[in-house]
Amino acid sequence: MTTYGIKREIPTLEVLTEGEVEAIHQATLQVLWETGVTFHHKGALKIFEDAGCKVDHENERVYFPPWLVEDCLAKCPSSFRVKARNPKNDLMMQGGGDTVYIMIGCSMTSLDLDTWSPKPASRKEFYDYMHVMDALPYVHIMSAFPMFGFAGVPECMLLVESNAAKLRVSSKAQQEGGVLDNHLWNIKMAQAVGSECMQLANPAAPLTYYENIAQLILDCCDLDQPFHTASGPVAGATGPATLAGSLVTNNAEGMAGIILAQLYKPGHRVWTGNMSMVQNMRTGSPRFGAVENALGESMFCQVWRRYKIPTWISSA
């Protein structure tokens, strides 16, 4: 049995004209070809060069010809199944199809109800949260690093222990992130219980993939694990100041990782997301909850329906 999410019975929100969608697509191709993306990974640079990209080895910059970008996007599956610990919770991801919901990662702290001061979540609070999320019928995916772990765990083990807790409690599809080579442990734990673990392969805005993220992409291909990209440029800081401009660089950043996967293993399961936000002009930090973010998310979804690749957005 496979879960298909919630079937949408209303039209999609179209905030852009067809011409504007095409303009964003062409601008993305232009950024990938003329500005390029930095990859701090020697193996990735060779893969790109062998495929026909221009590569500046000294600066580790890759320039993607438009034909190659479109060819690699076309190789991505428009739908794919993700194995859960319980086969009835196996999840079908569809580009432009049903809507699935991901458990929110929550904050990095809990609240002490006696003092009203923030504190790290206790092990019991963390596990209670996992049990509640697993029981909710319309939560389809257990998200990455909820609460960023719990108290009493060494910092280097926080994400690994968090993922282990999710796998113990939940029989649903799993998403996880990591640092350095944590993703290998996360994948092995998921495989041990008969599940898959969708990894975060997030570039750094603007237009950069560090060595560990490029290696994560290659490892996911080798281990047949789906992954997704989402860079999260902040408009006016790590991305252009306009929503359209920030969407262009976000798309270029995500596509670069997808291209690497499709060159290395054509047809590999990928999805992509948007964490773009506007800037709080008083503090310079991302402005969570701003209405402009929601507008940018709508634009992102509309553009990516063109490519028929599964996508995700957040409510931030």
Q: What is the pLDDT of residue 105?
A: 67
Phi-psi domain of 36 (left: phi exceeds 0; alpha: psi -120 through 50; beta: other):
left
- Which of 219, 218, 245, 240 minimizes the C-alpha distance to 300? 245
Structure tokens belonging to residue 154: 């060494």
Q: Over the stretch 222-239, which tens digit does the pLDDT of each residue have?
A: 999 999 999 889 999 999
Per CATH, which fold does 7-80+199-300 belong to?
Answer: TIM Barrel (3.20.20)
Structure tokens belonging to residue 157: 């083990």
Percent of the chain with pLDDT over 70: 98
pTM for this prediction = 0.94
Peptide bond into 206 cis (omega under 30): yes
Percent of the chain with pLDDT over 90: 75
Check pLDDT > 70 for residue 163.
yes
CB 235 within 8 A of CB 277: yes
User: If pLDDT is split at 50, 70 and 90, which confidence band does 316 have?
Assistant: low
Domain limits, the chain:
7-80+199-300, 84-195
User: Coil, strand, or helix at residue 110?
Assistant: strand
Q: Over the stretch 105-125, which tens digit does the pLDDT of each residue have?
A: 666 677 788 899 888 889 999
User: If pLDDT is split at 50, 70 and 90, which confidence band does 17 have?
Assistant: very high
Q: Over the stretch 121-149, which tens digit does the pLDDT of each residue have?
A: 899 999 999 999 999 999 999 988 888 88
Angle at alpha carbon of residue 208, lines to 258 and 276, rounded to 5°:
75
- Length of the chain as a residue count: 316
